[in-house]
Amino acid sequence: MASVEPKEVFASDIMENIIEMNKKEESKKKRVFRRDPKTILGMIKRHVKENILLILTVLAVILGVVLGFVLRANTNFKPPTKKYFGVPGELFLRGLKFLILPLISSSLITGIAGLGVQKTGKVAARAFTFYFSSTFTAVIVGLILVTTIKPGTLSKNSITIKSDPVGNRKVNTADTFIDLLRNLIPENMVQMTFELYETRLVPHYKNITVESDAMNIEIFNDTGFNFSKNNETRISQVIDYYDQIEGSRKGLDVLGLVLFCILFGAMLAQIGERGMIMVHFFEILNEVSIKIIQLLMWFSPIGIMSLVCVAVLEMENPEAVFKSISYYMMTVLIGLAIQGIIVLPAAYLILTRKNVLVFAKNMSEALLVAIATASSAATLPITFKCIEDKNKISKMISRFVLPVGATVNLDGTALYEAVASIFIAQLNGMKLTFADLVVTSITATLASIGAAGIPSAGLVTMIIVLSALNIPATQISLIYAVDWFLDRFRTMINVWGDAIATGVVAHLSQKEVEEYEEEQRLKNQKNMPITKPTELNEPLPDYENFDILKV
């Protein structure tokens, strides 16, 4: 009896059948779900189950505010005691920051290596065009508002200037921008993970001779005074210039990390198949990081409540502060609202023709975390989750656009710096020309790039804008009292701007994404013959309903 020769089985065929079976199972589940009665209670339960973490986050913010004001009204804690209420929030924030390094590196490398150099170049061109357009627009919105409302003129009589250690720091605009270039190319790969280069300016003194006439007075009992005049020469020291001293500050060098990962991913793409083992390593690292984030997010309600509570608890005389600087706060908040509710959604709607309300709803969890943490870098893991899982944007786009956007696309910070600098100039009675406004707009746009995604970083980079307008840096203390409050809202706009940029770039890059997916599909369809089951040490699994395996 002649033996029947078994058919050759390919791995691609097996995978296609598995995918088809999964689709059938999903469609069965959907049909069963549709047959369930759509009662109001059932719909509420379903929505609560789908958005349980978002609901808990909203409740955490509300409870944090309430608890903070209750403690303020009924207790008299000293500042060191108040900090204990923020420990859970600090732990949550540290956990998020801990994941920034593996998340940014793995996302950028896998995204660029997957797309390839040519496709990445097109995506990057679209991304950076949107970044700088939206940031510059935010600055223009801020300048229009601050020159129209004139909060500095309205607040002149209610604000007093106090010295502040942040403002006492000497800053040179040229050195600050050169430091950005130095941080782009760090001299040590390990060092860039915990330290940034920062130029310190130290005064160099010179001696000058001062001649003065001194008057000696002799007093005689009951007879009067005797005057004598002496010429005195004394040496005095004055500042001649400022020495540029190499320095550093703690923090992740995000600019250097981004540039390194972009180059590393591009070179892996050039190597081709030999570099796939490294690509797979970073893909696994990315997946593990996301799993840890998902676990950490269940701790977020407690952490967020703690952060909000301690922020409210540590406010110093909020009624008086908010009243004296209310016009400035109103101008900043109106500008952020225009940028976040009108400008960015309009750009998304015009460029993608998609429903921006659905997109915003899916990003709500990341926006709430941004308000609570006041850190766009710490919010980045949640932003990834919302963009990829809820808005279904391709990982090939999000893995490049989001990490870079968190570094250079800071719409809220740029708007804030423009408004704050003009506000301080108005307080000092300075008459700004059109050239001054142009300088402010350009400087604020560039300075926002140097603002790391950490709380109140914009306050430090704003010194650059003040220096460009020849405003004493010590006057930054005028707005220091409310920076903690405005920082949360400008961080939310920063995160929202990054999300909009990712959605727009993903829509404009559909061709590149489809080409990438087609290339991956063709790779999977390469003939990879599997030997007969009898020749294997272990038999093949018994795939149900696979006619192609029956011989």
pLDDT single digits (tens) 112-164: 887 777 788 888 899 989 998 999 999 999 999 999 998 887 766 555 555 44
Find tokens 């001054």 and name the residue.
436
Residues 211 and 263 occupy one common structural domain? no
Q: What is the pLDDT of residue 232?
A: 62
- Residue range 3-27: mean pLDDT, rounded: 52
Q: Which helix (H) or strand (E) holds 216?
A: strand 195-220
Are 265 and 110 within 8 A, CB to CB? yes
Residue 342's identity, in one-letter code, is: I
Total domains in the chain come to: 2
Spatial distance between the Cα atoms of 287 and 136, rounded to a whole number of angstroms? 35
Q: Is the residue at 282 inside a domain?
A: yes
Cα angle vertex 181, ends 178, 184, to 5°?
155
Residues 185 and 215 occupy one common structural domain? no
Residues 232 and 276 occupy one common structural domain? no
Are 469 and 436 within 8 A, CB to CB? yes
Length of the chain: 551
Closest to 134 (Cα-Cα) out of 415, 419, 416? 415
Note the pLDDT tens digit of each residue in 320-377: 667 768 888 899 999 999 999 999 999 999 999 999 999 999 999 899 888 888 888 7
Q: Is the residue at 457 inside a domain?
A: yes
| Phi/psi of residue 329, nearest 5 degrees | -60, -40
**What one-character DSSP code corresponds to residue 155?**
T
Q: Which residues pair with 215 in a beta bridge?
A: 229
Number of Cβ atoms within 10 Å of the Cβ of 425: 21
Regarding beta strands 9-10 and 195-220, do their DSSP bridges make them parallel or antiparallel, or are they unpaired?
Answer: unpaired
Residues 95 and 212 occupy one common structural domain? no
Find tokens 């991956």 and name the residue.
520
Q: Is the residue at 5 inside a domain?
A: no
Q: What is the pLDDT of residue 170?
A: 59
Domain boundaries, position 508: 42-189+251-518
**What one-character DSSP code corresponds to residue 409?**
-
Inter-axis angle of helices 411-427 and 434-449, nearest 10: 140
Residues 367 and 275 occupy one common structural domain? yes
Q: Could you tell me the CATH number of the domain that includes residue 417?
A: 1.10.3860
Spatial distance between the Cα atoms of 245 and 253, rounded to a whole number of angstroms? 19
Residues 232 and 351 occupy one common structural domain? no
Q: Is the residue at 542 inside a domain?
A: no
Q: What is the pLDDT of residue 137?
A: 93
Separation in Å, CA 89 to CA 74, 196, 296? 22, 25, 12
Q: Is the residue at 270 inside a domain?
A: yes
Inter-axis angle of helices 100-115 and 87-98, nearest 10: 30
Note the pLDDT tens digit of each residue in 249-293: 777 777 788 888 888 988 888 887 888 888 889 989 988 888 888
Residues 199 and 63 occupy one common structural domain? no
- Residue range 391-395: mean pLDDT, rounded: 89
Q: What is the pLDDT of residue 9?
A: 45
Regarding beta strands 529-530 and 195-220, do their DSSP bridges make them parallel or antiparallel, or are they unpaired?
Answer: unpaired
- Biggest distance spanned by C-alpha atoms of the chain: 149
Find tokens 């030999």 and name the residue.
274
**What one-character DSSP code corresponds to residue 158?**
G
Closest to 128 (Cα-Cα) out of 408, 335, 317, 368? 408
Terminal Cα distance for the chain, rounded: 16
Q: Is the residue at 35 inside a domain?
A: no
Half-sphere exposure in the Cβ direction for 138 (13 Å, CA): 34
Residue 216 pLDDT level (bands cut at 50, 70, 90): low
- Residue range 501-515: mean pLDDT, rounded: 89
Spatial distance between the Cα atoms of 86 and 524, rounded to a whole number of angstroms? 51
- Residue range 93-118: mean pLDDT, rounded: 83
Residues 412 and 510 occupy one common structural domain? yes
Residue 195's identity, in one-letter code, is: E
Q: Is the residue at 538 inside a domain?
A: no
Q: Going by C-beta distance under 8 Å and a sequence separation of 6 or more, which residues neighbour residue 241?
A: 203, 204
Closest to 474 (Cα-Cα) out of 197, 160, 201, 245? 160
Spatial distance between the Cα atoms of 56 and 51, rounded to a whole number of angstroms? 9
Residues 102 and 209 occupy one common structural domain? no
Closest to 138 (Cα-Cα) out of 336, 329, 333? 336
